[in-house]
Amino acid sequence: MKFVRYFSRKLAFLAISLFFVATLTFFLMHTIPGDPFIQEQAVPEEIMKSMYTHYGLDQPWYIQYVKYLKGLVTFDLGPSFKYEGRTVNDIIYDGFPVSFSLGLLALFISVTCGIFLGSIASIYQSRWQDHAAMILAVIGMSIPSFILATLLQYLLAMKLPLFPIARWGGLSHAVLPSLALSSLPTAFIARLTRTNMIETLQQDYVLTAKAKGCSTFQVMRRHVFKNSLLPVVSYIGPLSAAIISGSFIVEKIFGIPGLGGWFVTSISNRDYTVIMGLTMFYSALLMFAIFIIDLIYFWLDPRIKGEYLK
């Protein structure tokens, strides 16, 4: 019963948040000077009026707003103003699987390597293993992803032709961009894991388990991991949406046909429907990821059942 109430409340917050994001996106787009056909100056006025009528841009803002919300509810994001015969749904169907595949690999690298480095650093606190792991973390947080992407291209694709330098194909094409995307989150997860594990290792119940003769592996598995990884789980939620949605710059550097390229192009083209549709798609991914993480948090931390639902 408590879970149902928790689930319903979080779902309601999700729906309300999406409504506000949709409303804000619509009005921000309509306050930007210009229109999608501002570059079509050579087109006769009659054809321009026909284009406005065809896309409904000649209607009052409130009618456009209602149609926009109706399209979101029915998952019909409308046609692209610049790409004839293509809809926003088509663009998402084409670009998202690529960004998803790339982001999933980057997310796997970030979580596994980050938790591994953080665990090693916490177990061997103040030793060379700790210093080495944190040096790697600092380097990962200091180098921007687009700089790392170009370095990886130069070193591992040009000097040592181990991977393709760009484009999209098999798994080999995803390795370098995934490494570039995962560097910052890996470093952050490593530092977050280390901090929380060191704090957990100093708790009385952990010291008692050690005094009883439990091995380091047993202590970590039974007492440390579950309690110290809760903040990491919280970070993985928005991180998942951000990485899986794709990095605009990294996708551009490697020539990957993901959603990032479409989004950048739609902004330069003032393609309103594509901008609003992709913005809502990104927002829905982010909020849904946070929603799932909240449910996992409820399962991992029994205190929420008592504190949140008082």
Contact criterion met (CB below 8 Å) for 20 and 287: no
Token output for 263: 């989004």
Report DSSP letters for 243-269, one per residue.
HHH--HHHHHHTT--SHHHHHHHHHHH
Contact criterion met (CB below 8 Å) for 250 and 180: yes
Measured CA to CA in angstroms, residue 200 lies from 110, 133, 154, 288, 293 at distances of 22, 19, 42, 30, 21
pLDDT at residue 146, as a whole number: 80
Cα 19-20-21 angle, rounded to 5 deg? 90
Tens-digit pLDDT profile for residues 128-176: 888 888 888 888 888 888 888 888 888 888 888 888 887 787 778 888 8
Report DSSP letters for 59-99, one per residue.
S-HHHHHHHHHHHHHTT---B-SSSTT-BHHHHHHHHHHHH
pLDDT at residue 300, as a whole number: 64
Distance, CA of 227 to CA of 210 (rounded, Å): 16
Q: Taking each helix axis from N to C terminus, what angle separates 272-300 and 2-31, rounded to the nearest 10 degrees?
A: 160
pLDDT at residue 30, as a whole number: 75
Tens-digit pLDDT profile for residues 189-222: 888 888 888 877 777 776 777 777 777 667 776 6
Q: Taking each helix axis from N to C terminus, what angle separates 128-142 and 88-123, rounded to the nearest 10 degrees?
A: 150
Token output for 61: 């803002």
Contact criterion met (CB below 8 Å) for 282 and 245: yes
Contact criterion met (CB below 8 Å) for 262 and 274: yes
Instruction: Tell me the domains of the chain and their CATH numbers.
Output: 88-307 (1.10.3720.10)
pLDDT along the chain (310 residues), means of 10: 73 87 85 62 62 68 84 84 80 85 87 87 83 85 84 86 81 86 87 83 73 71 70 74 69 82 76 83 82 74 54
Amino acid identity of residue 167, one-letter, is R
Taking the alpha carbons at both ends of the chain, their separation in whole angstroms is 13
98 CB contacts (<8 Å, ≥6 apart)? 168, 246, 256, 257, 258, 259
Distance, CA of 12 to CA of 122 (rounded, Å): 39
pLDDT at residue 84, as a whole number: 74
pLDDT at residue 228, as a whole number: 72
